[in-house]
Amino acid sequence: MLHAGIERAPLPPLRAEPAPGARDLPVVPDRDGTGETDRAGPAAARETRGVRDERDGGKPRDPYLDNAKYLTIVLVAVGHAWAPLTLGSRSTSALYYFLYTFHMPTFIIVSGYLSRRFECRPRQIKRLLTGLVVPYLVFQAVFTLFMRWAGDDPEREWSFQEPAFALWFLVALFLWRVTTPIWQQLRWPLPVSVAVGVAASVTPTMSDDLGMMRVAQFLPFFVLGLRLRPEHFEMVRRRAVRILAVPVAAVALAVSYAAVPYISGAPFLHDKDAQSLGLPAWLGAAMTLTSYGCALVMTVCFLAWVPQRGMWFTSLGAGTLGAYLLHVYPIEYAKEMGWFEADGASHPLDRFAITVLAAGMMTLLCTRPVRRALRFVVEPRLRWFFTPEANSGPAAAPEAAGPGVPAVGAPRLPNATGAGAPELQPAPAPPRSSFTGPETEGAVEAEGPGNGGVGGTGGASAGGGPAGAHGASAGGGT
């Protein structure tokens, strides 16, 4: 009981305690409209100095994820440059097979990891439409006009249901992210997604409109990314894994070289069914599962060697979407002009030079000036097109100024001073319900703030914090 004349200090606001080990981890800003933030691993916490996000008030980003996104997007351009060079070159074909076992699966896994908290909220839907659908429509139209000129095909029709060249990934990422809440509610999402991918690989009647064959066959990698947590990346980055990745990659490259005369790279593209490749259904299903296993092993090897600290190219990881959309035009123009079939592209040194040029071109396209020039297309605001709810950002929670000091806007209890202050009587004890017991005592707490989460993760996830989006390029930042 409180007596008159005793001043009661205001109660400090309730603050949810983070999971053990998450207190000192940096917060990664929301970049894909998921409305949540993410916490990087301890290694990234030591290396975030100098890595800032210009759109989020200079907040730190996880350099490891930006490094991974930059390196994979460079490999995408290198793979597209190698594709026309594989004819008549066993060594180039072996490198091409080796690269295609992991570079797109890695990019998709990272995209899935950064989509874990997508819940189809209004602001998330807006970012999804402006960051994926609008760029797809614009660049699909631009590519059609480009091919009418470069490909000497003035009658090329407008076909928005058939993604041109590399634009299938934007459609796929849109569909994967929209269905994220569904995958998060399944008890065994990864086996279900693998079943979907294998079934698509043996279904010749499946339409390829909107790149649905690739959408289905690459789906398991996105779902795998949804199930990953920061501690999984910490396991991959252990010294023992990095050392083991070297002989594993060497063996994989040797196997790829030996297999060139017997197989093609089609199974790793995941754009055709087994029957179209001349394989029986059972063999096609087995080959799809084998490609999944190879992709997983090589992805681990690649991620083990991604630098954990800030590098000179770390900031370029935030501009991968624009680079992905633009790099197709120089490569396609070179194909139409026949430069890859010229004598200057047949020598190994010439092919090495083409590789360096492709990597340099992609690096240039990831720079900040290019990102700013493309922002009106890649990241349009379009506030007039959406409701006020979709245009408004998530409300920030009030923060306390210090221990014992209430947060800004938090209600205050009136101070009891003076001899005439009323005496507070204790509240009567509520009647005990016959249903109160071990089964119901935690029901209210489980439904309170910070305990509800997608896929069974609470306010402080197993990875040390709520998961969020790191960049639009792997998905809106691929």
How far is the C-alpha of 449 from the C-alpha of 15, rounded, in Å? Answer: 11
Lowest mean pLDDT among 10-19, 193-202, 454-463: 454-463
Identify the helix (H) or strand (E) that includes residue 407. Answer: strand 405-407
How far is the C-alpha of 403 from the C-alpha of 332, rounded, in Å? Answer: 61
How far is the C-alpha of 78 from the C-alpha of 99, rounded, in Å? Answer: 9
CB-based contacts of 320, cutoff 8 Å, min separation 6? 69, 70, 73, 366, 471, 473, 474, 477, 478
Lowest mean pLDDT among 49-63, 94-108, 462-476: 462-476
Confidence of residue 394 (pLDDT cuts 50, 70, 90): low
Q: What integer pLDDT is reported at residue 126 of this predicted model?
A: 93
Confidence of residue 62 (pLDDT cuts 50, 70, 90): confident
- Bridge partners for 52 per DSSP: 60
Distance of CA 51 to the CA centre of its chain: 19
Burial string for 265-296 (b: 16+ CB within 10 Å, else e) reads bbbbbbebbbeeeebeeeebbebbeebbebbb
In residues, how long is the chain? 478
How far is the C-alpha of 52 from the C-alpha of 429, rounded, in Å? Answer: 53
Q: Is the pLDDT of residue 366 over 90?
A: yes
Confidence of residue 423 (pLDDT cuts 50, 70, 90): low
* CA-based nearest residue to 36, from 152, 122, 114: 114
Identify the helix (H) or strand (E) that includes residue 446. Answer: helix 443-447
- Long-range own/partner contacts, residues 162-165 (CB < 8 A, 24 or more apart): 162/208, 162/209, 162/210, 163/136, 163/210, 163/211, 164/140, 164/328, 165/328, 165/332
Lowest mean pLDDT among 226-235, 249-258, 342-351, 460-469: 460-469
Q: What is the number of other CB atoms lying within 10 angstroms of the CB of residue 433?
A: 8
Q: Is the pLDDT of residue 272 over 60?
A: yes
Confidence of residue 393 (pLDDT cuts 50, 70, 90): low
* CA-based nearest residue to 230, from 348, 84, 71, 116: 116
- 279-335 residue pLDDT tens: 899 999 999 999 999 999 999 999 999 999 889 999 999 889 989 999 999 999 988
Q: What integer pLDDT is reported at residue 60 of this predicted model?
A: 64
pTM for this entry: 0.71
Q: What integer pLDDT is reported at residue 344 of this predicted model?
A: 67
Could you give the percent of the chain with pLDDT greater than 90? 46
Residue 111's Cβ-side half-sphere holds a number of Cα atoms within 13 Å equal to 33
Q: Is the pLDDT of residue 412 over 60?
A: no
